Structure 1
Amino acid sequence: MKLTDSTPSTPETTQLVYHTAGKPKTPLASSAGNARDLICFSHLRWNFVYQRPQHLLSRAAQQYRVWFLEEPIWADQLYLNEQHQSDSLTVLVPHLPHGTTPDQAVVLQRQLLDEFIQQKRIVDFVAWYYTPMSLLFSDHLQPQLTVYDCMDELSAFWGAPPHLLEQERKLLDRADMVFTGGYSLYEAKQKRHRQVFAFPSSIDFAHFSAARRPQPDPADQRALANPRIGFSGVIDERFDYQLLTELAQRRPDWQFVLIGPTVKIDPALLPQRPNVHYLGMKNYKELPVYFANWDVAMLPFARNESTRFISPTKTPEYLAAGLPVVSTSIRDVVRTYGTSDFVQIADTAQAFEAAIDRALRGNHPEHWADIDTFLSENSWDHTWASMNRIMTTQLSMAIEQ
């Protein structure tokens, strides 16, 4: 039980408009050389699922002015929207005119970026990439340091751009260092760059350990019976909906609770049964309240190309919440948690059912003290401090040369 490639044509010059919201930024001194700014190029939205980019860059904002540049959205005019998350972290959202061609989109994003850097008088900065595709409009920049934080093998995801691998090759050629979101990714990249460092999924222990104490049951799951087996995360091509379907059929007395958005897959593929409950996306702050009222947490990931290199952030979050965890044999889960007997590994519905049943009877895991020691040594604070130390060392060496 739960513990309490051609050069694009240039369109006509367009007047730029900047939309801002929230408080102005306060410049901060940086601990990495002379760089005071960090520009992040992301394929993920800041206000989507709270995960690795948010954890790391919210901490980076203690040393840098962080500018989180998202992918563009379509609008009636060209402008760059600024959304201030804090005094030193701003989300930038390019708005491109309807009907803009892909080649024009590259030119317009470059134009927006250049005007923005000039307006903010950004000179010495760190370029931090989550998506190699952003090189299409940023390859002319001259940052003091270029970091590729490779959190996923994006080329393995459905709908990946056809030129992504070529763009990644270019990014690897430019990057001063590569951070990876797991050990499998590290092994995949280590021979492709001289400086690759593995930083697997970490944990905000204080946040999620609140689930170990009694919490009021949220309204949308209050009426559900027990036991409850929960999943929190994006439901996409990585999710094994066939496994969940069979589990729900085998155990109609168990309630399967799923939190998170459904993207890139047909919702009709997901099991529609009385004991399967889709509660939608929740705010990061709300998650411990939901976790506190579950009995077991699950990671029912499919074993395919899209999951070959993943290191699920939810694994340590579940454990910090005091939840027993059952997962399919995702490589980084097995090597990090399965061999330590922190997480039960099962791939068939029968084995998954048996593992959940074992957890419900209080027979797994057995060594919570060891789990907590492991979690305390793998905090997001520690991960960011280690990353920034590597960056600072690299910049200091460059300055001395």
Structure 2
Amino acid sequence: MKLFKKFLVLALSVSLFGESVFSQTSIVVRKPTGEQYWYILKQAQDAYDFGDYGQCISYAELAKNVRKNQILWEQYTLDQSQRSRAMRDAGDDLKNVMDALEKTKQTKALEIVNSYISTYGESAFGGSFSRLLSFIQLNSSYPEADYLIGRVYKIEGEVEQASRYMKKAYEASNLLSVGDMKYDILYDLADMAKNQLDSLSYASYLEKIGSGRYYTDYEKYLLDVLADDQFYTDTQYMNSMEKIISANDHKAIERFFVLYRSSSDRSLKALEGLASYYENTASIMEDPAKARIERSKALKCAALGTVVAVTRIQTILEDRVTDYHYTTIQDMLKRCAKYPDIIRWGNENGVWELFFTLADTAEDRGYAVFATDLFTTIKECCPEVYWQELASSRIRN
């Protein structure tokens, strides 16, 4: 830990030194030399992979500083380019500006503009040069570096610092080179928030949630993951799932698993987490009306989560089993037992628990037939013995 703190001081010194030297130069006239920021970040990632966390932070902070200086140079270069008469006559139209840059042989400025257009597309700037300039200014943030630093702090148990860096990364997630990294950031933030929530005493938890509706960071981050899920955000779709379950007859379970499919794999853990969260919240609420609302949300999250899981399993089986097509949920779950990797994936993503939670919340909502049928299915077909036995204990004779 002493070595880690020593490297932290070094990393912060590199960052502060770089900024102080750069801030003394009000006019940037040369392109920054040396290694590019993306390569420095790669060195940071390599250090992280080797467990050299102090060196990782040092490189990551340096990458952030180099990127910031790169953006300042780009801003300066484009600002200088606008001083010519041809550029002033071009106005704000991006194509006219690019033509003017080419005619006036301002190669560096044109290269900068082309690099952003090739990366993000001309439509991202609406054909406006001023919008491009605004985007470049915002581009000085380096969310990948902030996220990596946050991961180091998380490993070291520095939750407050980890959250601070990861929140910065999430706020600048529109700049991520790989857009889906946003969901990794959110899941890490949610994981830390959940651990903080779990560390609260029962009385404190009850005070925060039982006395009213309190949105914890854990819930908020998982909801942010689901904000891009077309099915979760479709109220009619979500309500229709509960309507099928509420039919409460022996055909409901198969109608449900035949009618619904979703390929939103990245939503699976969020749905599993929220289903359990809402179920636990309902169990400690004193107001029955508020508890019913939480149970309804738990049911819908568990329902959509199982739909995502079934869709994924069906895709895997179709790839592996000749002429396979879905027939019944019982047949599908029995087939899973033949594949250790599917069982492992189900355990890691809380899939088998989701099936149990769906049955549990259906029972809480008064849909006893659906609940019993699903508990029976889990007992007879789930590839994990633990959930078989737990489901068996819930079946009423």
State the structure with more CA Rg: 2
TM-score over 0.5 for the alignment?
Answer: no
Higher helix share: 2
TM-score normalised by L of structure 1 = 0.25
TM-score normalised by L of structure 2 = 0.26
Structure with more relative contact order (C-alpha pairs < 8 Å, separation 6 or more): 1
Higher strand share: 1
